[in-house]
Amino acid sequence: MPPALQTAFAIPVRALAWLGRQGTRAIAALVVVGIALPPLGEVLRPWVAEAIFLLLCISFMRVDVAALREHARRPGIVLAASAWTMIAVPALTGLGCLAAGLDKSSPDLFLALMLQAVASPMMAAPALAALMGLDSTLTLITLVAGTALVPLTAPLFAWIFFGGALTLSPLALGLKLALMLAGSLAVAMTIRWTFGIAAIRRHRDPVDGVNIVILMVFVSAVMGSVAGYLWADPLRVAGVALLSFAIFFTLLGATMLVFRRLGHARALALGLLVSQRNMGLMVAATAGALPELTWLYFAMSQFPIYLSPQLLKPVVGRLGTVDENLRHPGTGE
């Protein structure tokens, strides 16, 4: 390669490597950027589906094959985690909301909480787990299992708690998710076969940087409307934001408690996965026909998701989970 071309490639690679080394700080900064630049969200919103696909490609590309084999030999953890996140969480959430009378006092908020509960884990969760130094292979496998279940569980719980008021298309949703997972897996395996695992290890920081750039598409797309809500009714926005943090950390803490026998590090990885729900998937499945308060909760729920890597960083450090193998998963057999 000519020296001039090498220099041209080296500059963006160094920039991505620097961004990747910022890790959780960069993710937290994305929230500020998303709120401060609403026009950016309008520009990036049409590319959210492509961003999901690319994040999945990177997660599959970095899968730790040795850890994958271990989980395949002992599938009980993945099965239990999938049952917890896709069956227990929506059931407990729905019963809790009904017991509190939320379905009568605030049906729009009830709808928001149930859409969050029935959703599968967020597809960016393994990428965030990797940036935090947690077991992203376990989170990715559980994500795939949960995503495979959502076309069955989401319509079931929607019917139980909403009757015919909310309609989901299991077949269309299942087909779309299956194509996305299969396509991203094929692309990831092609990359691994073409460049090799050693190259992925050498370029771990630039890959982290690419993860952060792609995450910006998510954050900007959903946070662009927050400034308008904040100016219109700041007290309401603050209340919904506090509720979103309370729900997030309740799911995180409950999951860590349920899976505490796996060790603190794995329990935290699963807690992070379960607390990050893919509400955008449910919004797409309902064709976006949602009340204003539901939309507001959806936007506010992004705060704990993208701030949690920075907020939980001291916890990860105390657990001693940040080592080379876990911080950069998927780079060794």
Q: 90 near 153, Cβ under 8 Å? A: yes
pLDDT per position as a tens digit, 28-47: 788 888 888 888 878 887 78
Q: Quick one: which H or E segment has residue 2?
A: none
Mean residue pLDDT of the chain comes to 81
172-226, pLDDT tens digit by residue? Answer: 766 777 788 788 889 999 999 998 888 888 888 888 889 888 888 877 877 777 7
> 238 and 296 in contact (C-beta within 8 Å)?
no
DSSP 134: S
Distance CA 228, CA 146 (A): 34
CA distance 53 to 309: 22
Would you state the pLDDT for residue 96? 95
Other Cβ atoms within 10 Å of 198 Cβ, number: 10
pLDDT attached to residue 117: 93
Note the pLDDT tens digit of each residue in 42-77.
888 778 778 878 888 887 887 777 767 776 777 888
For residue 2, name the pLDDT band (cuts at 50, 70, 90): low
Distance CA 280, CA 34 (A): 16
Q: Which residue has the higher pLDDT, 243 or 39?
A: 243
Per-residue pLDDT reduced to its tens digit, 142-159: 888 888 888 888 888 888
Q: How far apart are CA 49 and CA 327, in angstroms?
A: 26
Query: 121: helix, coil or strand?
Result: strand
Residue 161, pLDDT above cutoff 90: no
CATH code that applies to domain 33-317: 1.20.1530.20
Q: 61: which 2 tokens? A: 């590309």
Provide, rounded to the nearest whole percent, the portion of the chain with pLDDT above 90.
20
Q: Which of 30, 41, 43, 263 is nearest to 124 (CA)?
A: 30
Separation of alpha carbons 47 and 54, rounded Å: 11
Helix/strand/coil percentages in the chain, nearest 5: 85, 0, 15
